[in-house]
């Protein structure tokens, strides 16, 4: 199956029995969450990329809100990245991605929610149009958000948030961490996130990049930036050369 993003006028690729289908967009961080968990769980699957500026009619028929990521199984559709990732974790138990203890699991889920303290100001960076006042406020917020994760990782004293191997919390925040260097480039400030302030997170990033599930979906800051600039210009190049 081609990885070209399907647009209005395309035909819906026929479903294969027993194959989980993931509707995605190559540069969407929420879709990347799902693709990482699919890789971590080694789930037999196929990816169907959707052109979000020109969604096919058949996509709306399946998925009235027209959202990606979405999962399709036997004609039934599921969406919301966290719901999908939690589903995959339950339907494919190995390796387990949450602590077995319910309180510890909930604690990880709280931190996944807290990640919006980093991801929300990142979006504002993209659309700040170089306004230095806005950018300064955004990076204040990003640094404050990252501080919580630096402190938490330090408290845990482990290589990954989940311990010796990454878990759901590690994977769920990764797509935005992968884009942090791009956010700094957008702001024209390579020192917006000082290394000495995030020593634990930097070492965590190095380790995460070696993880097979992360490598399966990784793209460079340059590639992310190239796509983002096309997106901001109003003509997102979903199928650009990386």
Catalytic machinery residues: 28
Tokens of 69: 């990521």
Is position 73 an interface residue for a second copy (rule: CB under 8 A)?
Answer: yes
Give me the least distance between CB of 241 and a second copy, in Å please. Answer: 35
Q: Are 130 and 100 in contact (CB under 8 A)?
A: no
> Cis bond leading into 33, ω under 30°?
no
- Counting every residue written for the chain, the total comes to 242
Closest by CA to 200, choosing from 144, 133, 139, 154, is: 154
Cβ-based neighbours of 225, under 8 Å, separated by 6 or more: 182, 185, 186
Task: Provide the minimum distance between the beta carbon of 80 and a second copy in the complex, in angstroms, as a whole number.
Answer: 5
Which residues within the stretch 83-122 sit at the binding site for a second copy (CB under 8 A)?
83-84, 86-87, 90-91, 102-103, 105-107, 109-110, 113
User: Considering the complex, what minimum distance in angstroms separates the CB of residue 184 from a second copy?
Assistant: 26
DSSP per residue, 43-101:
--EEEEEB-TTS--HHHHHH-TT--SSEEEETTEEEE-HHHHHHHHHHHS-SS--S-SS
Least separation in angstroms between CB 84 and a second copy: 7
CB-nearer residue toward a second copy: 8 or 91 = 91
**By C-beta, is 121 or 236 nearer to a second copy?**
121
Task: Using the minimum distance from each CB to a second copy, give the nearer residue, 20 or 219.
Answer: 20
Cβ proximity to a second copy: between 5 and 41 the closer is: 41
Interface positions with a second copy (CB under 8 A): 73, 76, 78-80, 83-84, 86-87, 90-91, 102-103, 105-107, 109-110, 113
């Amino acid at each position: 199956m081609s990885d070209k993003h399907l647009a209005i006028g395309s035909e819906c690729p026929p479903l294969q029995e027993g194959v989980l289908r993931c509707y995605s967009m190559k540069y969407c961080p929420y879709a990347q969450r799902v693709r990482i968990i699919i890789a971590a769980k080694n789930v037999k699957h196929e990816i169907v990329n959707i052109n979000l500026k020109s969604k096919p009619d058949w996509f709306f028929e399946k998925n009235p809100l027209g959202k990606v990521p979405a999962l399709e199984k036997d004609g039934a559709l599921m969406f919301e990245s966290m719901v999908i990732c939690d589903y995959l974790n339950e339907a494919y138990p190995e390796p387990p991605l949450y602590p077995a203890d319910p309180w510890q699991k909930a604690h990880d889920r709280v931190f996944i929610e807290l990640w919006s303290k980093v991801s929300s100001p990142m979006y504002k960076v993209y659309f700040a149009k170089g306004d230095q006042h806005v950018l300064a406020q955004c990076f204040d917020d990003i640094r404050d958000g990252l501080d919580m994760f630096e402190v938490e990782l330090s408290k845990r004293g482990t290589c990954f948030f989940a311990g010796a191997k990454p878990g759901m919390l590690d994977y769920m925040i990764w797509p935005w961490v992968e884009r942090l260097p791009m956010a700094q480039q957008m702001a024209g400030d390579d020192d917006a996130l000082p290394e000495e302030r995030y020593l634990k997170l930097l070492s965590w990033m190095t380790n995460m990049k070696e993880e097979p599930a992360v490598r399966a979906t990784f793209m460079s800051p340059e590639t992310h930036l190239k796509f983002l600039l096309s997106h901001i210009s109003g003509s997102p190049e979903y199928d650009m050369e990386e």
